[in-house]
Structure 1
Amino acid sequence: MIELFIAASAASVSMPTKAEPTVDPSNWIMASDFPPINQAISNITYELTLNRQGKPDRCTIVFSSSSAELDAAVCGGAMKRARFRPAKDRNGAPAFFVRRERVGFVADESQTGDYRNEDADIVISLPEVPQNNSYLTEILLTMAEDGTLSDCAIRQSNAEPALDKLACEVASSPQIAAPIRDGNGNTVPGIRNYYVGFGNAPTLGAISR
């Protein structure tokens, strides 16, 4: 059974804490890291696994730019420069932490060279969500050492309890709540961080309910 914790609930409930960057994410990847970009626009989604000291231990491409060189440059820059205050589990102990990042590149130098997209990691399409409205829930998934999900904490509620609960239900799927692996490929306990968005219009990659 997966436990659900709401950050805004009783103070007696100890919440895990996410890793926070100590180096501005806009400085993780530099222009000098890039190979020549032949595509008009290249978008990359990657996951950065941080160790208990807050240092990158593993970088995994989730959605590729279709350029192995560009993918490698993004992971290389993040692994080299990203630094964080460590995440902590519900007992206050430093923990491995996985966060998802999106980076976009444009070949036209007259446009912005790179950007970070703060949109949802998971999008759920619901017909009952009012037209032109959207909701965003931030969740923290605690993964056990054997790779199973032990609990889901709502770090930032969208003020709709039913949607918060649904965010945890959807994120509990094995495809999303995947085991956390360190730089050597070993399964380790830790925390996964996701932003779950809700809207009423079908979106590429959205989950319809």
Structure 2
Amino acid sequence: MFLVMALLAVQAQDSAKGPKPPTPLTNPSSWITDDDYPPSAKRQRHEGTVEFRLKVGPGGVPIDCTVTQSSSFDELDERACSLLVRRARFWPARDAAGNAMAFTYTNRFTWRLGSAPPHRNGVGGGVGAGAPIPPAELQLTVARLPSDYRQPVIAAVSFEANQRVVDCRILESSGNSAIDRAACGQLLSLATAPSSKSGALAAKTAEYIVSFRTEAPAKP
């Protein structure tokens, strides 16, 4: 993940839409998977369910995670919260005037080992070997979010065989054209082509989530 600063001037527009609850932008099954199992916990056969609460900003990006029911193992609890803050993304809640607002999201994730072939345990208990791998992510800090901003941008970036970025296509709009253009502008400059296991590189397309936030990112 990389973080850049982008100051945008956008035209705010009022919205007459009614209040809406938040919904996940990406499949919760991709937020944590069996591939993320802490190695030491796996060696010690530690398992358990972590119940959590995310504090999410108006841009749909989590800013804090609290364990509300421990798995009984600190390593599993901490790993779950760390991944959720990095990967969970939402269409934000909106008030009666249509403005994006902060909200909380609660769910659970079970760290589970077994003798059967590996499978992916999704947030909320869903399973499936085909659980998607999280897309790459870019976070941008802006001066303010427009009132018609609905969600982070999902974009597809195309690369030539020499890894040069040649195209950016919006798959899911933020709801604001200036925000969409800013997202693609940053990706065209900063996106990195997927690594190739072989010596020959071929043109590829990578998917990105571009999140926007108004608050300064927390210092490590």
Q: TM-score range by the shorter chain?
A: 0.3 to 0.5
TM-score, scaled to structure 2:
0.43
| Structure (1 or 2) with the greater helix fraction | 2
Higher strand share: 1
TM-score by length of 1: 0.45
